[in-house]
């Protein structure tokens, strides 16, 4: 018999039958799994609207994508696939499999559907000219589910990353929204390197985060080449009348020193080395993103 399990409902709100409120990282409780499965089911109807006949080419393309790209099953392009069995595969993964498999499936499905919505709905979903979503993206809706269920992950720049704090996510997203291509490329790479669940590269994620700051400083100061050290560029920014808070400048110079001197990236053992941890890479990604946002705001005044 079904049991009541409503987050924010009377029992939960009054602590009578409290639901899980701990951030879930490597374990996902059953309630959350069900909510994630329901999310995917709702997205399926949202994406394909009322045209849910499995024989339509759009849904056939989706079913072939699931078999081929997610489960690496053999496909036959001459064959029409039924949707029941494939939808059940997805459901069983979300309800029963390891947390990383659950997130891998959800990420792949939502990436596929986001691209489909861009192609079919066009400017009603995504404004290609201004590079922004018209209303809520499918990624944002998924993040609302993640937040509500205390799942310690969010979609950032189209991929799931283990960053659970709202401020941190917003800092990274704001920096990734920059119009400066070199800054975006470094941050995007840092984001991907830290979030690769099979082969995370924390050392190079840290390098890319720092490189994003350097790229931003180069854009503001115009300094290039060997002269483009962070210290010189920060000094040039201040010489140009942009006053950086002394504490922030000092703190960032120290961080930069950790990742660039003889005890840093070129040698293991400290932040930026081959023994770098997820926590260090996350800290640098968030800190560098926040510092970039700070520099952009200062230079705009």
CATH, residue 174? 1.20.120
Shared domain check, 239 and 123: no
Percent of the chain with pLDDT over 90: 36
What's the whole-number average pLDDT of the chain? 83
**Confidence check: pLDDT of 89 > 70:** yes
Same structural domain, 193 and 274: yes
Residues 190 and 116 in one domain: no
The pLDDT tens digits of the residues spanning 226-248 come to: 776 777 777 777 777 777 777 77
Same domain, 271 and 220: yes
Domain boundary among 90, 118, 152: 152
Give pairs for 134-137: CB < 8 Å, separation 24+. Answer: none
147 and 30 assigned to the same domain: yes
Looking at the fold, whether 128 and 40 belong to one and the same domain comes out as yes
More reliable by pLDDT, 43 or 223: 43
Asked whether residue 20 is assigned to any structural domain, the reply reads no
Residues 121 and 170 grouped into a single domain = no
The answer on 222 and 115 residing in a single domain is no
Residues 127 and 191 in one domain: no
Q: 116: number of CA atoms within 13 Å, CB side? A: 19
Answer with the residue of higher pLDDT: 70 or 272: 70
Out of 51-65, 154-168, 203-217, 258-272, pick the least confident: 258-272
Please check whether residues 170 and 290 belong to one and the same domain.
yes
Overall domain count for the chain = 2
The long-range contacts involving 225-234, CB below 8 angstroms and separated by at least 24 positions, are 230/256, 231/256
End position of a domain, from candidates 118, 152, 186 = 152
Residue 16 lies in a domain: no
Does residue 8 lie in a domain region?
no
Banded pLDDT at 266 (limits 50, 70, 90): very low
Residue 1 lies in a domain: no
pLDDT at 264: 42
Query: How wide is the angle at C-alpha 116 spanned by C-alphas 112 and 118, nearest 5°?
Result: 120
Look up residue 151 and give its DSSP letter: B
Residue that is last in its domain, among 99, 118, 152: 152
Mean pLDDT of 168-189: 88
Q: pTM of whole model > 0.85? A: no
Structural domain for 29, as ranges: 25-152
User: How distant is the alpha carbon of residue 187 from its chain centre?
Assistant: 11
Is 59 a member of any domain?
yes
Whole-angstrom CA distances from 3 to 6, 12, 17, 31, 36 are 10, 13, 12, 11, 18
């Amino acid at each position: 018999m079904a049991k009541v399990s409503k987050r924010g409902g009377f029992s939960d709100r009054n602590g009578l039958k409290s639901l899980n409120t701990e951030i879930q990282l490597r374990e996902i409780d059953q309630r959350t799994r069900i909510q994630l499965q329901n999310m995917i089911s709702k997205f399926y109807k949202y994406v394909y609207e009322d045209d849910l006949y499995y024989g339509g080419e759009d849904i056939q393309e989706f079913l072939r994508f699931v078999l081929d790209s997610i489960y690496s099953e053999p496909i036959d392009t001459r064959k029409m696939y039924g949707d029941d069995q494939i939808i059940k595969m997805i459901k069983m993964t979300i309800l029963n499999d390891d947390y990383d498999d659950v997130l891998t499936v959800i990420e792949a499905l939502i990436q596929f559907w986001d691209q489909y919505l861009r192609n079919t709905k066009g400017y009603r979903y995504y404004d290609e000219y201004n590079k922004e979503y018209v209303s809520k993206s499918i990624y944002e809706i998924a993040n609302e589910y993640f937040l509500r269920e205390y799942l310690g992950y969010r979609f950032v720049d189209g991929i799931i990353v283990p960053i659970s704090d709202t401020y941190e996510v917003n800092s990274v997203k704001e920096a990734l929204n920059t119009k400066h291509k070199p800054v975006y490329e470094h941050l995007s790479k840092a984001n991907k390197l830290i979030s690769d669940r099979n082969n995370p590269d924390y050392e190079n994620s840290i390098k890319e985060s720092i490189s994003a700051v350097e790229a931003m400083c180069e854009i503001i100061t115009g300094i290039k080449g060997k002269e483009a050290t962070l210290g010189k560029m920060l000094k040039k920014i201040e010489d140009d009348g942009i006053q950086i808070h002394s504490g922030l400048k000092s703190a960032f110079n120290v961080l930069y020193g950790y990742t660039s001197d003889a005890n840093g990236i070129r040698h293991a053992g400290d932040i930026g080395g081959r023994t770098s941890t997820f926590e260090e890479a996350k800290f640098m990604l968030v800190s560098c993103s926040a510092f970039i946002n700070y520099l952009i705001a200062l230079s705009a005044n």
